[in-house]
Structure 1
Amino acid sequence: MDARTEPETRTETDVAAVAAAIGDPSRAKVLLALAGGGALPASALAAEAGVSNSTISAHLARLREARLLTVEHDGRHRYYRLATPDVARALEQLALIARPLPVRSLNADTRAKALLRARLCYDHLAGRLGVALMDALLAGDLLRAERTDPSRVSYLLTPSGRRELDALGVDLAGLPRRRSAVRYCVDWGEHRHHLAGALGGAVTARLFALDWLRNGRYRRVVRLTDAGRDGLTRSFGVAPERLR
């Protein structure tokens, strides 16, 4: 075969380049502001990062070059979002080994506690509430854990889980085929699994549609409504003390 036509053999990935793009504090704040799956204009991201509108342009260009962000056009306006759910997943995993930021104000302390309690990780539920829901799905045999070796676990949606989620109105038929249906993230606050993947996104979307979840005061933060507390206990058996 002609050397010019041989397919490229890819043995390693350029982790350093991605790490350098994330490694600037302002760019990290941009990514975290978008980690809830939404899209924001440059002006909002500049405010999140604490930099000027002129400075944010260079940061956004760097993140796009690293393929961490995409841009959407709406007339003359531009909106930025994470390129893939895997970017949010990577941020969540980096948070597992990162040191906590110092809390220098009451507002920062309130925000930190709210993020630990309940937040979005791209499009699915995370924090203590996300872990509590995952535990309830497993306890109720809606999900089943399969361990192929001591260090690896995967989760499967059971027939009873399919019936229960379908009865709740979760759009199982509409799960995108290009995305793994059932995945998990290791929650950085709880150091335990919460439900990710297409199923995690669909369940979270349904909780919003039922008004069991609402967006909170801070970006990515969500809050459970009274109807949500009753619904999660009734439908999934989540212990009431885990919903506080």
Structure 2
Amino acid sequence: MNAFLSRLLSVIGSCFIFSAAWFCLWSISLHLVERPDLAVLLFPFGLRLGLMLQCPRGYWPVLLGAEWLLIFWLAQEVALAHPIILMTGSLLTLLPVALISRYRQQRDWLTLLRQGGALIAAALLQSLPWLPEGKEGLNALLLTLTGGLTLAPTCLVIWHYLTSTVWRPLGPSLVSQPVNWRGRHLIWYLLLFSVSLWLQLGLPAELSRFTPFCLALPIIALAWHYGWQGALIA
């Protein structure tokens, strides 16, 4: 009974937290794409996919169910278009995520490449139902790739930090450790920042809303090499 109650509370809490984060990210995306249905494909897609790539399979129905309820609610409140297309696409994304779920606990570059491949495949599958809509299919693909590459690495870094960090009490031995500055690393950070800034300023006006994609590139590299500290610096 206690195990069931604990599981139930965990599911309810996860559903509420994910729903709140999903709606906040949808509101932010709405300012970038100005269409409620396409806003679902930007940061909300990246959040759901990033969590599904890390969390156990038992929570996948919670994430999908919460997203579908939000889509249905938005269809009633703000006349969200294409709710069936959005739900169908989210269901299709289960395939690549399920294929690599067995490698989730590994810590190597191959796992990162697998998750990157699953992200690209999920973006393609999410945008697949939009093909009959004409040019909206390409917009859907660009939005899912941008949202996925922006949010999924963040979910990866936070998940690894929470599940892999060995927590130790803060004592004199930790506080008194000197800070070693490494000039080579600082130069690489500045170079990555300069390249990212140059890419953002050089994008044409019609692609200006996809500048978060440029921001995601150094975050992915530094996060995987240095952990959450590297992601914070990036």
Q: Which has the higher helix share?
A: 2
User: What's the TM-score once normalised by structure 2's chain length?
Assistant: 0.27
Q: Which has the higher strand share?
A: 1
User: What's the TM-score once normalised by structure 1's chain length?
Assistant: 0.26
Higher RCO (C-alpha 8 Å, min separation 6): 2
